[in-house]
Amino acid sequence: MSGELTQSVIKRIIRRVGLECAARGQTLSETLVAFMVKAVVLDPRNDFSMDRILTENDVQDLIQLCVTRLLDTTNPSLSTIKMQVYFDMNYANRGELLSEQEHVLEGKLAPILRAITESGPCAQEEMENMYQKIVTYVLLRSGVGSPADIEAVREVTAALQSVFPQKELVTFISLSKKDKEKQLKDLAMLVTGIRLYNKQCQKGGSGIDDLPAILKKAIPSALWTVDERLNSCQLLAHRYLALLESMQEDPHRYSQLSTFKLKEALFNVKQYEAFLCILQSNAVTSAQEVETLDVQFESAMMVLKNTVQDKTSIESKEVFPLFMELSKLWTSFQDEILLLTFLTNMIDNLQQFLEIHSQLFPEEMLTALLEGVTVKSDEERIKETMETRVNVSDFKNQEWLFPETADNFDQLLIQYHGFCAHSIGVKGLTLPGNPAIGILKHKEKYYVFSSKEAAYIFAQDPDKFIQLNVEKAKKYAELIQLLELRHQFEYLVPYAQARNANKCSMKPPPKCDSGTQTDTHILPPTIVRSYEWNEWELRRKAIKLANLRRKLTHAMQTDLSHMRRENFTQVYLPKDVGTQTKRDNSSNVPKPQIFLKGLRGGSSPTTHMVTVDLTRPLDET
């Protein structure tokens, strides 16, 4: 079969199963169909041997079995597989989610960023259009406000003009594309910081939500929802586990409850609990991050207020880093909003995979079945076995670890998601393991047990029970992910599984930071600085040395000069002196005014001329 199950054959089977389910009114994802094909092939009850080639009849039987299981909506196993596929395809950790969001944002901003950075020298009207594009880019990049909000656009424009006037566009256009992109990001951060400060001073802030206040209300609500659903699913798992144990102890109870799919229901609830624990851990991390961010934001705002105060002008190098720090913290708040929304959606969407329990086991029926049965919680089971411990001297070739003696105990990667390694394959139950009993180290892997007896039995032949667990996972394919057994079935993973096979581990592998350092040059340098490879350079140096051999330096001294020395004198320069020898004076002389009378003559033939002197006396002037 290993030769037959090539990529093309698997794809053909998956495609035919998907078409058959669609024809019967169920449109299923390709990943879910692929997972089911894997589950049917692994199930030993279906008799698909891994050592023989599949015939056409085998392919038809495989398709029909897959279709039947995919359309059986009353089987909790199908709900569990759907839940696992959904979680694989949709869950992302903090780093992956934020990286994906940044990639999406860059894609949205790419057209306007390209229009800004690829433009060359342009006219005045085009300059104004480019400036408006920069305003839009800054607004979209910050995620604070909408371009449709006129008031937000005005605030961004005013803040941008204060740090990047339109006249600087000429210099901006001359920059390289990379420098333009960096300056645009810095401008977006500066403008965001300015707007946040103005909002704090109640001078603006249109379109800016109070993210810290929103997170303070939303995170406790999300944590409360997770805790409530965890408690309800754990209670349901405790009930199923009690019923399954009563079936194994009482044959009458077994005949009464064997028709119910209690094991499948138990695995479904346990998988749901495991996923909820992952989401709860992320929510707790977000709560801690928000608490730290809140303190940092208040501190940064206080420093900025003390720096700015009521000053009319302030140096940019002093205040710009504070605005950018505010913007970075606000971006972190936006990231936490995104993460919280993602976690809330995941929590709500996972709830649909538990609906089958209310259909198969109504509360009245479950209460009736539990009459006379003692329901124990995981904490009670562990508490009962806290005083029992494996005697290490009973095992010569086995290594046992205990919480108080093991180094980095919390970082040990316990197999089977912390369930009892013995009860899975023997009883088909997911009993909680108690590390206080003893942790068996076998082939660099660690196993825990629910009782001392189970630990002793497992330690007698660990490989046998490990193989039993693998066979149980083949029968119930949902256990492959629940028990973290993907490495056991790598030969069937090539097409069926989703993006990253390692992403679905319930507990991340232990990691640590390490570093090494070596000398740049261990041996002393052996470079000969006087070496010359150029023959003409060597010739030039040889000619220079040959010429120097014929050169002499001559010097002589006379009787008149051998006792001479240089003398210096210093004089005071004359001062600028001024003297006055006279003074200017002036007088005003009256203007002569003399008139002659009788020049024209008269009736008599003789002319009689009279001189009239009207000049004013000197003393009257």
Cβ neighbors of 241 (< 8 A, separation 6 or more) are 266, 376, 429, 430, 431
pLDDT of residue 254: 67
Residue 379 lies in a domain: no
Residue 551 lies in a domain: no
Cβ neighbours, 10 Å, residue 435: 18
Whether residue 241 is found in the same domain as residue 346: yes
What is the band of 6 on the pLDDT scale with cuts at 50, 70, 90?
A: low
Alpha-carbon distances of 536 from 57, 532, 533, 541, 544, rounded to whole Å: 86, 10, 9, 9, 12
Residue 612 is given by DSSP the state E
Whether residue 283 is found in the same domain as residue 322: yes
Whether residue 153 is found in the same domain as residue 131: yes
Phi, psi of 133 (to 5 degrees): -65, -40
User: Strands across the sheet with 399-401, in order?
Assistant: 399-401, 439-442, 445-447
What is the band of 490 on the pLDDT scale with cuts at 50, 70, 90?
A: low
Q: Give the max Cα distance, the chain.
A: 183
Contact predicate 355/409, CB 8 Å: no
Whether the CA torsion 416, 422, 423, 426 is positive or negative: it is positive
Whether residue 244 is found in the same domain as residue 327: yes
d(CA 446, CA 414): 5
Residue 282 lies in a domain: yes
Contact predicate 400/441, CB 8 Å: yes
Whether residue 190 is found in the same domain as residue 220: no
Whether residue 124 is found in the same domain as residue 147: yes
* Average pLDDT, integer, range 305-311: 78
d(CA 75, CA 63): 18
* pTM > 0.85: yes or no: no
Q: Which of 22-36, 96-110, 542-556 has the highest mean pLDDT?
A: 96-110
Number of folded domains in the chain? Answer: 4
59 burial level (CB within 10 Å; 0-12, 13-18, 19+)? middle
Q: Which two tokens stand for residue 513?
A: 């930071």
Cβ neighbors of 575 (< 8 A, separation 6 or more) are none
Residue 572 lies in a domain: no
Q: Which domain holds residue 402?
A: 387-488
Whether residue 153 is found in the same domain as residue 254: no
Residue 174 lies in a domain: yes
Whether residue 179 is found in the same domain as residue 268: no
Residue 175 lies in a domain: yes
Name the more confident of 102 and 54: 102
d(CA 423, CA 465): 9
Kindly report, residue by residue over 427-456, the tens digit of the pLDDT. Answer: 888 999 999 898 998 888 999 999 999 999
Contact predicate 292/273, CB 8 Å: no
Phi, psi of 597 (to 5 degrees): -120, 135
What is the band of 501 on the pLDDT scale with cuts at 50, 70, 90?
A: very low
Whether residue 358 is found in the same domain as residue 254: yes
pLDDT reading at 502 higher than 50: no
Kindly report, residue by residue over 169-192, the tens digit of the pLDDT. Answer: 888 888 888 888 899 999 999 999
Q: Which of the listed residues 488, 519, 534 is the one where a domain comes to its end? A: 488
Residue 327 lies in a domain: yes
Residue 529 lies in a domain: no
Cβ neighbors of 483 (< 8 A, separation 6 or more) are 415, 416, 417, 419, 424, 469, 473
Kindly report, residue by residue over 314-346, the tens digit of the pLDDT. Answer: 777 788 888 899 999 999 999 999 999 999 999
Return the ∠ at Cα 490 (arms to 486 and 495), rounded to 5°.
105
Whether residue 236 is found in the same domain as residue 357: yes
Kindly report, residue by residue over 288-301, the tens digit of the pLDDT. Answer: 999 999 999 999 99
Q: Which of 7-21, 111-125, 150-164, 604-618 has the highest mean pLDDT?
A: 150-164
Whether residue 145 is found in the same domain as residue 267: no
Q: Which of the listed residues 71, 103, 132 is the one where a domain comes to its end? A: 71
